[in-house]
């Protein structure tokens, strides 16, 4: 675990949650199309661990807001970066009890079928090839009708892995990942259906 940024202080954490509570009604109506509110939330998260006018690298926190059990869920993500997981976990551990809100650290695993449906793919549109090295997974995902510009572009496959494996597993057990166009007969290529990927990665020692 890396050193905690000096700006991730108890006072900054408390300030963030006060801002959240004061804006809970607005946040309950959030959609990704609300660009101004998206930027406002990102800025509030950034101020937790980065000074004003900061332009360097380092870990960053992101978020998702989803309906949950008649209320809403606020997920704090470390963008799959294991060294920053403790920042998301510390923030959520300090979350207040707010009516109709659930707070979660790190993106949880979702059913493969749900992820495929959300991304407009069928069960046979995405397959994978797996290799293990040093207790971690090297994964190539093969996607039907993948555009030439997306082939070998890791950003094209990241959503599959982050949501299907869950952020914690993705950050701690995946070493490399890539994507390629799905061949006509994936079984003859030794590929496996995407639904088998979570159990394959979970089996790593």
Sketch the domain layout of the chain as residue ranges: 10-105, 112-202
Torsional sign, CA 78, 118, 108, 24: positive
pLDDT one-digit tens code per residue, 20-60:
999 999 999 999 899 999 999 998 998 887 655 555 555 57
pTM reported for the whole predicted model: 0.86
pLDDT one-digit tens code per residue, 75-95:
999 989 998 899 999 999 999
What is the C-alpha to C-alpha distance for residues 31 and 158, in angstroms, rounded to an integer?
22
pLDDT band at 160, cuts 50/70/90?
confident
């Amino acid at each position: 675990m890396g050193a905690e940024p000096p700006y991730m202080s108890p006072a900054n954490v408390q300030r963030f949650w006060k801002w959240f509570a004061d804006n809970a009604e607005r946040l309950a109506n959030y959609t990704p199309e609300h660009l101004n509110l998206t930027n406002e939330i990102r800025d509030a998260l950034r101020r937790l661990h980065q000074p004003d006018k900061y332009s360097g690298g380092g870990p960053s926190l992101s978020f998702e807001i989803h309906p949950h059990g008649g209320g809403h869920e606020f997920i704090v993500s470390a963008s799959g970066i294991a060294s920053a997981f403790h920042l998301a976990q510390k923030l959520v551990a300090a979350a207040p009890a707010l009516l109709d809100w659930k707070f979660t650290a790190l993106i949880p695993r979702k059913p493969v079928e749900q992820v495929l449906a959300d991304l407009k793919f069928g069960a046979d549109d995405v397959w994978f090839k797996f290799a293990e090295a040093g207790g971690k997974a090297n994964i190539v995902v093969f996607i039907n009708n993948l555009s030439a510009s997306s082939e070998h572009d890791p950003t094209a496959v990241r959503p599959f892995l982050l949501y299907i494996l869950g952020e914690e597993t993705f950050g701690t057990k995946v070493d490399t990942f890539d994507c390629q166009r799905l061949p006509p007969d994936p079984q003859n290529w030794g590929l496996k259906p995407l639904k088998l990927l979570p159990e394959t990665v979970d089996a790593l020692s």
